[in-house]
Chains A and B, each alone.
Chain A
């Protein structure tokens, strides 16, 4: 197995001693098939135990290890060293405040996620004796792609709208709202629309499409947001142009 001396330039920030972040360079011997997260783990184990970063599964499922790798939002467990020949610059996810080193403050995203109610809200309560909610494979396929979101926030780090207007509900939260709106078992769309179909919601999106380009799970948030725009526009026409004006 080939080894390589990898140079990492890591953005460090210690809230107790630093007024602003600074880069620190590490040199660490890595195996060719390693990912950036392995290199960070090697640094932490053998060079600098004070380095802070989040990770858990090491298999692109938990969504914890999102970072900027050479300026691109990446899951560090999914960023192979062989794809980065020179010095690798590692920074905390863009557009989020830095808590410490590579750890960001995710509170804003978590709050927005709660606001869109990303869970099934049945149209009518159903007693357990009535059995399960059934769904055909076609009904499942309608939303399945959007259910693959792992809340890694890479889409927020790539989104210039979120960078410029932090009130924007953002790609992942609106995509998850759309995922539940499309679910045949759900009846909560009207509640979600109060948050989603607003200026700070989907109408802040100008379809840059960066979210879909960086999504590690091929969820295509940009697609979801455009579909929400189409559906919200149809709502408006139904409300204002149809006789009776009801949705």
Chain B
């Protein structure tokens, strides 16, 4: 029991002080009936070697890791510099908790302040929070925020081209929220939100529109155009970005007129890890700061004039406002937000611009190569970042063949978009070299 410092001897001494005979006696207030049925029927504990051996055995059966992969669909392979994980393993960071005592948590608090700054910069908005669970729940919380801010309006217009899982999470979050209504707006032949349909749907009942960009097909939406239409009708514009690396090359949501922007931060220094933990990025315009969900860190000053950082505007949150809180979120994704902060500090301004360009070039080259053989065609004409959609005959069979050749070539769309069952998305990043792209084209041909 290497995790337990107490010994038989120290236990006996403590029992004496507490005034009981045996350890069992400290539970005398627990009803006997419950005590008698509480035994945990699990095998005996394992030493470290055996524990890790079991885990290694499980890990080895995840054969996708050995394959050449072009999977995207909301999670992306990017290179993470070694320094990120090394710094993340500082126990002072990972074993700390919520910085309620700011005087001894300045490391965590300053890092979050830097994170908030970077997120606001990336999304092109005024203020960002200390993180949400993931892009999907961030989108749901953004929708709830729009409903809160636009008090008399109950309707949300959501793009059907937004990641299906984001739409599912939104639906779950809205169950039981009185009056809230979601209507979907479709996409047109270019792969973007159908503007005419959107304009027809917008009226004074609409609190906001929610649009994915890049969307599930990899297509970059015309946020400037969409937000213009929304604004004419007094609706807020919310964008959700599943591939946050796109923010390195694409005009920021804030710059395009978004009022609230969320993103999944996994692409920025976070391992895939079968989809979690990731981190939800959340930013908005200044005027909405008091309606923001999640924790906020602000600058402060101590009695001697020293600059420091504190959790602030806490009265929005559950531990004070309880049932009238802006959200129920407590624990968020603190350490992952730190990973993003360290990653962005290393990659920096120039590195981001370079990565943006690299991803664009690799993906565009890949689409060209894949479509060169004639078996596949580009499905959508609109601009894309590092993920694109191709159409061909019998997508499932093609993916199967590719898999047999050791390549996970992409994600078939038919499961969520029946009219696109002849199509699949492919994600290409800076992790893919020329030979990888050639291999992709080869196995798909």
A binds B: no
Partner-B contacts on A (CB < 8 A): none
